[in-house]
Amino acid sequence: MSILITGGSGFIGSHLADHLLDESNDKILVLDDFSTGDAGNLDHLDTDRVEVRDGDIRDAETVRETVGDADAVYHLAAAVGVQNIVENPLNSLKTNLEGTENVLEAAAEDRTPVFLASSSEVYGKSEDVPFSESDDAVYGPTTTTRWGYATAKATDEFLALAYADERDLPVVIGRYFNIVGPRQTGQYGMVIPTFVEQALAGEDLTVYGDGTQTRSFTHVADAVELTHELLENEDAHGEIFNVGAPDPTSINDLADRAIELTDSDSEITHVPFEKVYGEDFEEPDQREPDVTKLRETLGWTPEADLDRILTDVIDERTSEEVVAE
């Protein structure tokens, strides 16, 4: 079989490629334009089972040809990162909306199974935690750029479910909750790689807001295993699942733990959100998944193991420093 990963050079996509190579005999086909991904994330895959194609998911013909060569699709390509989304809203909307429609339309031709990577952002600023897949979403005004990403991912879900209903397309939707681990970049505002790099450099850790906001962090190794199992499980087709670990952590506590595990002398500095993202920026206070549905379907859920995540990221960054020297 040939398995397509759109956005396969990205953080989650490259880990998914690792997992699929380890767990199957399938050929891996990667489609990526390397706008936010990194070709270096695939350099370690010294195998003839991997083919990388340079292409944009907004190009319908490229997507149609590539999906036509696949027996299953993991659609991970997207515009990601709060900073990226706020600074480039049009590119974010077009990538997430046009790209997903192209993938679903191409997959529908042969009913090729699709895993659609969605986001906890679809819950918006709801305070009804933990979030269940059937909960209402609460968004801010359209003048607040951040909610464009949330509504685009929600529209992607509507599209996927419509293709499942009207075109009998096998689709699984996974709402990722702060997937983190090695290879993740802090370039677009991702908090853990940013904190680790600042702590290792002895710099102040920059916490946006008062730091009391909480997030649920999930190790990428767990996330890609769940992603694979969901698409393989026919009972999951046509359904939406939270993909994440419960037990949220405040950003202040995360910063403290990063300092402790790096044995750093860094301090914590708080910076108002509006100073970084503008006056109209809104940040949800809480993000916590209800994983009941995931557990009932697959029989397991990831554990919230912040030390494991931080240690893996620290080890990666320190080994890079050694190589660079």
The CATH number assigned to the domain holding 69 equals: 3.40.50.720
Side-chain-side CA neighbours of residue 322 (13 Å): 6
| Total domains present in the chain | 1
Q: What is the pLDDT of residues 169-218, one digit of tens each?
A: 999 999 999 999 999 987 766 899 999 999 999 999 999 999 999 999 99
Q: Does a cis peptide bond (omega within 30 degrees of 0) precede residue 246?
A: no
Distance CA 314, CA 308 (A): 10
Residue-level pLDDT at 322: 47
Residue 42 has pLDDT above 60, yes or no: yes
pLDDT at 61 over 50: yes
Residue 308 confidence (pLDDT) above 50: yes
pLDDT of residue 29: 98
For strand 249-250 and strand 214-215, is the pairing parallel, antiparallel, or unpaired? Answer: antiparallel
Evaluate whether residue 54 is within a structural domain: yes
Cβ(31)–Cβ(77) below 8 Å: yes
Q: Supply the residues annotated as catalytic.
A: 149
Query: Is the pLDDT score of 129 beyond 90?
Result: yes
* pLDDT of res. 188: 65
pLDDT at position 253 over 80: yes
Distance CA 233, CA 85 (A): 33
Q: What is the mean pLDDT of residues 66-83?
A: 91
Q: Is the pLDDT of residue 280 over 80?
A: no
pLDDT of residue 258: 98
CA 221, CA 182: separation in Å to the nearest integer? 10
- Residue 21 placed within a domain: yes
Residue 15 lies in a domain: yes
Domain that holds residue 141: 2-180+218-245
